[in-house]
Each structure stands twice: as C-alpha cells, then as structure tokens.
Structure 1
Amino acid sequence: MPETAEPDSGAAEPVEPDRRKPMMRRIVVVLAPALIYLSIRQLGLLFASWLARENKTPLGDALTSWDGQWFLGIAAGGYDHAPASLADAYGNRLPETPLAFFPGYPMLVRGLASIDGPNGLFSLVTSAFVITIAFGIVAAYGLARLGASIRGGSQYTGWILVALFAASPMAIVLSMTYSEAMFCAFAVWALVGVVERKWWLAGLCCGLAGFVRPTGIALLFAVGLAVAVALIKRRESWRPLLAGLIAPVGLVAYLGWVASRTGRWDGWFALQQRGWDSGFDGGAATWKFSIEALTTGRSVLEVATVGVIVSALVLLLIGFRMRLEWPLLAYAIGVLVMDLGANGLMNSKARLLLPAFTLLIPIAVALAKRRPTTVLGVLAAAAVTSAWIGAYAITSWGYAI
C-alpha cells in the first residue's frame, strides 16, 4: 500500500486578514474633523502666546478681551447685574446697555459654571472656554458633513472645508470667550438640514442660533426661503412648515423681550445705534473705510480687513458661477449684507464675516481636485497667516475687534 503523505510542515499557513487597518481607518474618519480643527486652532494659540509675551500682555486677558468681557459679565450677573465697569463704544453705560448682547452663549456659560458651585471645577472663564471649544468641534463636524453633502463634494472636501474655517482670517475668536463658535455650530447644522432636507434639524438649529447672535437674521433668511420654496413646490407635506414655525423662535423671542424692556419695538437696533453707532447705511461707511485704509496706510490690520472684504465678494461670485446650492448662497448674501451694509466698528468687519463659512466652499472644492502636496501647502499658509493676524489683533492692535 502506498504510504500516506505527511502534511508539509513548511507550507504557508492561511493569513488572517488584518482587521486593525479598517478599524484604524474608521477611527481616523471619525476623529478627522476634530483633529484638523483643533490642530489649526492650537497653532493660532501658539502664535497668540508668542505675541502676548512679546507685548507683555497676559494671554488670558487677551483671550477674554472686548466682547468677551461682556459675555463673562452677563454670565456672572445676568443682564441686570453685569459689572458696572463694562460700557459701550463711547464709554457710556445705561441699564439697558447689556441687552445689546444675545443671551445664548453667556447663559450657557453661567449654567455650566453653576453645575458644581462657585468653588468647583468650572469657573466662569473655564466654562466659557470649554463651551467655545466644544461648539467649535461641533461646527467642524457640521462643515465636514456639509462639504460631503453638496454637489461635487466629498469627505475629502469636507475635511478641507474644516481646515479653511479653522484658518479663517479672524478665527482667533474661535478660541476666545466669544459667541461665534456657538453660532457657527448651529448655523452649519441648520444648513446641513436644508441641503439634506432634514427639516426638523434646519428649523431647530436656526431657532437656537437666533438666541446666540444677530447674524441669526441671515440664517433665518436662508432657511425661510428654503422652507417657502419647499412648500410652494409641495415637495414635502408638513415638515417644512414645522421648520418654518420653529426657525424664527429664538430671534423673535429675544428681540421681542428687548423691545418690552426698552419700551420700543426696535429696542435692540436702537441700542446698537446709540452704543456702537451701528446701523444700516447700505455700505457707505464700509466703502469710505476701505478707501481710507488703502490710501493712508494706517494699519496692517485695516488693510487686511479690506482684503477679507474683497475676497468675500469674489468668492460669492465664484459660488454663483459654480452653481453652489442656492440656500448656501442666500445665507452668505445675508451675512455680507448685514456686515458690509452696516456702519459702526469697521475693525470688526473681518470677524463678523467669520459666519459666512459657505463662501469657503468654492476653495474647498477646488483644492480637493489638487495634489495632496498642493493642498497641504495652501492650508499651511492659510493657517500661519490666520494665526499671525489673530494674534496681532488681540495683543498688538489697541482697539476692539
């Protein structure tokens, strides 16, 4: 009988697929928006720390300056007992002056700080920074989702959009005790809801954004138009109508409350006009400021502000040319009209354009088609430029931003 062949002990054993790689990829995909956002913002803080040291300014004071002091003061004492040292742009203080600042951010700061008492882990300042960072991350995930949801978008486009937002010219306020991070988080998710026709998300986030910043008017304009179009075309039944009912709640409630406190229907707008000389003039003051900044050379920050304004207008035109989803363009137009059409503090123009993040989408789409080395080079240059401008604005520039 033939002998039975013994198994070849030297034969290669079956190789089990490495399951770690797909898992690592999933982890990277999940964490990418937060890591991109936080890395760029950390670079901004490093520059701010450097310039603060050079100018002998405590970094903590710089990151809580100007409007940050107002938000912390309202968080500490409410509208009726904010510190008396706080005043408007003219150094005046009336009982209704604090009402110029929307309540969403300071009330949440107060709530977090009160969880474990006055001697607990979360002081008002710590709470403010925690909320700013947390909502910045929420905004980053919303931007990543928006970049993947638009026509011609992708996950890669979304990540680039996150980086561009974190490296915006005045993104330093995303690391300060300001309310921009909170507003942008609500705004981007409201727009995600519009683009993806998740009407409950659009209405809820728009309603919450209205409690945070007056820029909620621009968001309400875009969401309201989208709701109206959906209802006219009868694409959905009751969902857009529900979104349309929820969307204005925050804004209308706060403006109505200020009206009752001041005794006039336009109370909030009157406060802005009286305390900060901020009213709508159709862009006359912005035009005059731009010409003077470019012809007199008064400040590098003022020239940079004009550059931001011009870039925003160019990007809007590019957005129309590339047929960006019209609700995203409507939102950008609303922010531009509110910012550039108002007078008041000209040095705040660049900061007030930060919520117009949909203008960054054309850049993100274009970069997504380039080689990785090109993308990294552009984003690195943007991050360094943003870091320097932001650090200069809060440590070397002597006026409000």
Structure 2
Amino acid sequence: MLYVTVRILGLLVLAIISATRGAHFTNQLFSWDAEWYLEIAANGYTGVDPTMVDGNGNRTAETSLAFFPGFPLMIRLFATLPVLGAPQAAIVVNLAAGIVCAYGLVRLGRLVGGSERAGLLLVALFAAAPMSIVLSMPYTEALFCGAAVWGLLGVLERRWWQAGLCCFAAGLIRPTGAVLIAVVMLAALVAITRGRDGRRPWAALLTAPAGMLGYLAWVGMRTGEPVGYFEVQQRGWSSSFDGGVATSRFIAETLTANENAFVTLTAWLVLCAVLLLILCLRIRMAWPIVLFAALALVLDLGSDGLMFSKVRLMLPAFPLLLPIAVGLAGRRTSTAVVSLALFLGFGSWFSAYALAVWPYAI
C-alpha cells in the first residue's frame, strides 16, 4: 500500500506539470524506450515499426536486439488477458513487479536496519527516488529490481534455488543482470569452499548466468558476431564501458560550465550516489549487498552513452538508500516524516521534469 501510494503521488506531480505544458501525462509514460519494449512485445524483434530508430537516428536489422527479452515476454503474457493491450499489460506487469519488489525491500530493510520501520522507509525512498517515474512506465527497472532484491535475499537467507532463479530472470531483463549474477555466483563459491549448505549453492552457481548467457549467445548468432549485443549497443546508443572517463568529463564540465539546472542536478545526484556507497561501507552491511550496489554503480558510471540516463540507471542500485532508511528509522517520527516528504517532493519533481520538460531521452 505504501509503495502504491507514493507512486500515485509521483504520477500526480507528472500530471500537473504535463497539464501546465498542454500535454497529457500518459503521452510521457509511453515515450522513449517504452516504445521499443511495447513494439517488441506486440510484434517480436523482427516486426518492430521500421520508422523507429536508435539513439543516433539510425536503424539496422539488429537495432531492436539491444533490448533484452524478459520484459517484452511478460508484457505479451499479460496481454493475453481480456481487455489488456500491450500498453495496459506493461503497466500491470510493472505494478505487480513493484509490489513484489516492495515486499522484498521491507524484508531487506528489516535485515539490515533491525526494524520494520527501516524496511518501510526503504520502500518509500525507493518509490520516491529521482527517476522513479520509470517504475510506472513500460521500462525494465521495476521488474529487474524485484528479481534483484529477492535474489539478494536468497543469498542472505541461504535459499540458493531462489537466488539462482532470480538471477536467471534478471539476466533476461536487462544488462544490469550481470551484477546480480556476479554477486550470487561469488556468494555460492564462498559457500562451496567453506562447505556450507551441501550441494544447494551449486544450484545458484549453475543457474545464475544461464539466462543472460543464453540471450547473448542468441544475439551473437543473429548478428554473426560473438559479441554482437555489445556491438549493437555501441553502434546504436554509443554505449560501452570506458572506466568512467565519459562520466567524469560530464561531471567536471557540468559543475564548472553548464547553466542548465536539470543537468547540474544530475551531476550532483551522481556524486551523492558515490557518497551513499561510502556510507554503506560505514554501516557494515553484508558484503553481498554492498558489492551489488557497488557493481551496479560502477556499471552505470563506468559507461559512456547518454549522461542524462545516469540517474535512472542508478535505480537498480537500491541498497544505496539503506543508510538513509536506517538513519531515519532511528530518528523521531516527525523528523522521519519531514525528511521523507522533502525527498518525495524532490524525487517526484525531478522525475516529472525529466519526462514533461526535458527534451531528450531519459
């Protein structure tokens, strides 16, 4: 209920800002990458509208392969229900995934913060985070975060089949699945070398990478290139791992020369994420949680491509919000409520501005 309430408030802010600009907020909800996911869900990889182009304004037979199949498959499955077309099915999928994720976040917050309050605060912070609007759009963040949080819980609670299956799913949803796969496989190897839990860690070790490796192999066969997926990403969206060179350049130029408030706030949010990672280390969270957050942040900030997507791509690094949730859980109720309200206000505005006012892709 808390998750849904916060998301409704975020949609209301988007509706208000959209209305002031003479537009309806649903137009923004189904924009940018949402169009690709809906087209793939409805028509398959080969049937995508030929007028759609990549981030550089080009189109090849392989362009649509940049989008992983897990989310479109879920949309297609739900679209078989009566009165649900692909757009409606996508919203239903993400609503369900967001609720499943919220239950996992409550559990994770309780494990780390030691109280139900910390878990509920984590849910509210996640649902209100800057760019959380994509949790209510046909984007992959809600579905991936649901798989990720339950995969991490599987590791922490030593339910290895759960961890492995969540990794399998995450690897079919988005490239960030590689982060969860790495953490779960490492945790399974640690358990095996220490003789814990018998043969069960092997289940996670063998299952975790199967989904992502299967899709990458399929794209490789389709393109005729062993690293075909990465070639498609580089050609279409200029996205590749450069060790953080492009991100560092973006932050330096933004904070010294750019006059655009949205761009400047994006740079500051990136720096705040790095600070939160340091705080995660200070409160001594379990190493799989910290490693997952660190790798997700490295994968995001260490890649070039669209700098304005950095904040959205940080959403899967949701453990970064744990220091805030744990800190607020130990404060007076009034302090927690005011802090959460300010966070909700800023996050909702930033999300709405990115869709309704900002003219470029998110």
Q: In structure 1, the residue corresponding to 2:266 is in which secondary structure?
A: helix
How many angstroms apart in 1 are the aligned matches of 2:348 and 2:354?
10
> Normalising by structure 2, what TM-score?
0.98
Q: Output the amino acid matched with 1:138.
A: V
Residue 311 of structure 2 is aligned to residue 350 of structure 1: yes
Query: Aligned residue for 2:80?
Result: 114
How many angstroms apart in 2 are the aligned matches of 1:85 and 1:333?
38
Q: Output the amino acid matched with 2:91.
A: F
1:313-343: CA deviation from partner (whole Å, max 9, x where unpaired): 1111111111111000110111111111110
Q: Output the amino acid matched with 1:371.
A: R
Query: Aligned residue for 2:236?
Result: 275
Query: Aligned residue for 1:134?
Result: 96
1:124-160: CA deviation from partner (whole Å, max 9, x where unpaired): 111111111110111100100111123x422111111
Residue 42 of structure 2 is aligned to residue 79 of structure 1: no
Q: Output the amino acid matched with 2:73.
A: M
How many angstroms apart in 1 are the aligned matches of 2:10 and 2:290?
28
Choose from 238, 241, 261 the match for 1:300: 261
How many angstroms apart in 2 are the aligned matches of 1:298 and 1:245?
50
Residue 58 of structure 2 is aligned to residue 92 of structure 1: yes
- Whether the 8 Å CA contact 1:113–1:124 is kept in 2: the answer is yes
How many angstroms apart in 1 are the aligned matches of 2:317 and 2:28?
24
Query: Aligned residue for 2:342?
Result: 381
| Pairwise CA distance, 1:292 | 1.4
Q: In structure 1, the residue corresponding to 2:192 is in which secondary structure?
A: helix
Query: Aligned residue for 1:26?
Result: none
Backbone CA RMSD of aligned residues: 1.0
Unaligned runs of 5+ in 2: none
1:230-269 → structure 2 map (5 Å cutoff): 230-269=191-230
Q: Output the amino acid matched with 1:227.
A: A
Residue 299 of structure 2 is aligned to residue 333 of structure 1: no
| Pairwise CA distance, 1:298 | 3.7
Q: Output the amino acid matched with 2:253.
A: E
1:131-170 → structure 2 map (5 Å cutoff): 131-150=93-112, 152-170=113-131
| Pairwise CA distance, 1:90 | 1.1
How many angstroms apart in 2 are the aligned matches of 1:308 and 1:199?
34
How many angstroms apart in 2 are the aligned matches of 1:206 and 1:362?
25
Choose from 324, 327, 347 the match for 1:363: 324
Q: Output the amino acid matched with 2:95.
A: I
Q: In structure 2, the residue corresponding to 1:80 is in which secondary structure?
A: helix
How many angstroms apart in 2 are the aligned matches of 1:223 and 1:216?
11
Q: Output the amino acid matched with 2:58.
A: N
| Pairwise CA distance, 1:223 | 0.9
Q: In structure 2, the residue corresponding to 1:264 is in which secondary structure?
A: coil
- Whether the 8 Å CA contact 1:72–1:125 is kept in 2: the answer is yes
Computing the radius of gyration over CA atoms, which structure comes out larger, 1 or 2? 1
Runs (4+) of structure 1 moved beyond 3 Å? none
Percentage identity across paired residues of the two chains = 48
Choose from 28, 35, 54 the match for 1:62: 28
> Normalising by structure 1, what TM-score?
0.89
- Whether the 8 Å CA contact 2:300–2:314 is kept in 1: the answer is yes
How many angstroms apart in 1 are the aligned matches of 2:68 and 2:183?
20
- Whether the 8 Å CA contact 1:63–1:177 is kept in 2: the answer is yes
Q: Output the amino acid matched with 2:54.
A: D
Q: In structure 1, the residue corresponding to 2:175 is in which secondary structure?
A: coil
1:243-296: CA deviation from partner (whole Å, max 9, x where unpaired): 111111111111111111111111111111010110111101001111111122
- Whether the 8 Å CA contact 1:221–1:330 is kept in 2: the answer is no
Count of aligned pairs between the two proteins: 362
